[in-house]
Chains A and B, each alone.
Chain A
Amino acid sequence: VIWMTQSPSLLSASTGDRVIISCRMSQGISSYLAWYQQKPGKAPELLIYAASTLQSGVPSRFSGSGSGTDFTLTISCLQSEDFATYYCQQYYSFPPAFGQGTKVEIK
């Protein structure tokens, strides 16, 4: 089993801020990592897969980086519609687990 540590669990930020969310694995997963955004009462949406590939239709202010054990999701200039909860997911080994989530709230 791969242990995942997503941090921070809560992030307070203002519109226009640069935001970085971290996801750390207990062992290397190459680039088998995805990021999802979930707004209250809604289904998650895929933002990034293969650690750094932007899903079609996702704004370019979102970016992902990393490989092996350390990964980051960066929102370059936070917009009002970006206040949500973000989850990483590893799909290198079974079961394909999600991180604990990071809630981005208005400061």
Chain B
Amino acid sequence: EVQLVESGGGLVQPGGSLRLSCAASGFTFSSYWMSWVRQAPGKGLEWVANIKQDGSEKYYVDSVKGRFTISRDNAKNSLYLQMNSLRAEDTAVYYCARRDYPLDYWGQGTLVTVSS
């Protein structure tokens, strides 16, 4: 059974940093692109970033470019999102998802709240 479990969310002040993790199991992690998608409270879905199987290609939505970094550790079956210079508008539930397109399995999400 495919499982994706996010962790690392929480309350952080504007300008702060946070690192999200996504633990994958039930499939060959190193064979798949992986993605992050976020959802602000009461709002729709926004694609954030994705990363190729070997980490050699990474893509970001413009609003996070230069502030967020996606990475992966295939030996640990884990996906990461390093978020720096956080803003109030980054407040959202962050989901990790399998594949680039379409997103066929999703984790349960982790809430990031950016507030003073």
A-side residues, CB < 8 A to B, are 32, 34, 36, 38, 42-46, 49, 55, 87, 89, 91, 94-101
> Do B45 and A95 touch (CB < 8 A)?
no
0/1 string, B91-108, CB within 8 A of A gives 1 = 000010000111111111
B-side residues, CB < 8 A to A, are 37, 44-47, 59, 61-62, 95, 100-109
Measured in the bound complex, the distance between the Cα atoms of B95 and A95 in whole Å is 17
> Do A46 and B47 touch (CB < 8 A)?
no
> Do B46 and A98 touch (CB < 8 A)?
yes
Measured in the bound complex, the distance between the Cα atoms of B106 and A45 in whole Å is 7
> Do A44 and B102 touch (CB < 8 A)?
no
Given contacts A94-B59, A97-B47, contact A43 B95 (CB under 8 A): yes
Kindly identify which residue among A43, A87, A91, A100 contacts B101, using a CB–CB cutoff of 8 Å: A91
Measured in the bound complex, the distance between the Cα atoms of B61 and A57 in whole Å is 31
Q: How many whole Å from A102's CB to the nearest CB in chain B?
A: 10
Measured in the bound complex, the distance between the Cα atoms of B99 and A96 in whole Å is 12
> Do B107 and A43 touch (CB < 8 A)?
yes
Measured in the bound complex, the distance between the Cα atoms of B50 and A96 in whole Å is 10
